[in-house]
Amino acid sequence: MMLKGSLVALITPMREDGALDEAAYARFVEWQIEEGTEGLVPVGTTGESPTLTHEEHRRAVEIAVETAARRVPVIAGAGSNSTAEAISLAQHARRVGADAVMVVTPYYNKPSQEGLFRHFTAVAEAGGLPLIVYNIPSRSVVDVSVETMGRLARHPRIVGVKDATAILSRPLHTRRACGSAFIQLSGEDHTAVSFLAAGGDGCISVTANVAPRLCAEMHRAWREGRVEDAIAIQDRLVPLHDAMFCEPSPGPVKYAASLLGKTSAFCRLPMAPISEAAQAKVRGAMVETGLLN
């Protein structure tokens, strides 16, 4: 399985009362595919997985799989700081037809490198699907070392990494440790093109929730050798990337999606509604990028 180009870390559409909006979710997935998104990643952190019930989490994966209908791959979020819980989510993803799972580094309990190795190996063994390691030290505190990633890459089901370190030497070392077939996806929008230049295969993007066509065109330009075009799109997207992270995600991106009429801006506590200043920044960036009049 090859994952490449512009993949989206899907938001989870909710109604104003906080309930999962299944119809809006299906429409949103359909829109993403129509706009050129090349892979769907439901119920990661951007999808508010920490505050979804298990039933809602599973339903979100089902909606993504059903709506995608094999047109693009679905990489289901199956992360937890409990290995048993991660295995359960991965097994459900396999049962309903997801193509792969994304498993975040266990947060809060701070496992050692050996603990990380055993965690991902256990989920890969029991989950039965190709697994993408999600390495995001800024949120989970632990960092999968290059050496540990090299060990993990020897497992036939551990096929790649979502690298949100923003360390642009990391993909170079990861390729040396894991081989060129190991899939490397950026998890950091600002450095997506730089990550491609360092040997990456694509990006799992927050910004693609609201600018899917631009993100897809940027990756396509890069693949076709139109480097200047890719950089021009990258430059156009910078204010939008800034705005998407002006307050903790997914608050800004859900507000941006609400401006496009895709969902309400509602995020579940402890995510608070974004401030008026942040709203102005998001709206201004969307106007500047050409997404709003």
> How many residues appear in the chain?
293
Told to judge if 4 belongs to the known catalytic residues of this protein, a careful annotator would answer no
Dihedral pair phi/psi, residue 202, rounded to 5°? 175, -165
Give buried/exposed letters for 208-226 (b at 16+ CB in 10 A, else e).
bbbbbbbbbbbbbbbeeee
Catalytic option among 25, 107, 108, 134: 134
Three-class secondary structure of residue 160 per DSSP: strand
Catalytic option among 162, 254, 262, 281: 162
| Burial of residue 274 (number of CB atoms within 10 Å: 0-12, 13-18, 19+) | buried
Contacts of 219 (CB under 8 A, 6+ apart): 4, 5, 6, 38, 192, 196, 202, 203, 230
Told to judge if 134 belongs to the known catalytic residues of this protein, a careful annotator would answer yes
Give the rounded distance of the alpha carbon of 150 from its chain centre: 22
Measured CA distances, 209 to 65, 90, 184, 260 (Å): 17, 24, 20, 10
* Gap between the terminal Cα atoms of the chain: 40
Contacts of 224 (CB under 8 A, 6+ apart): none
The catalytic residues are: 134, 162
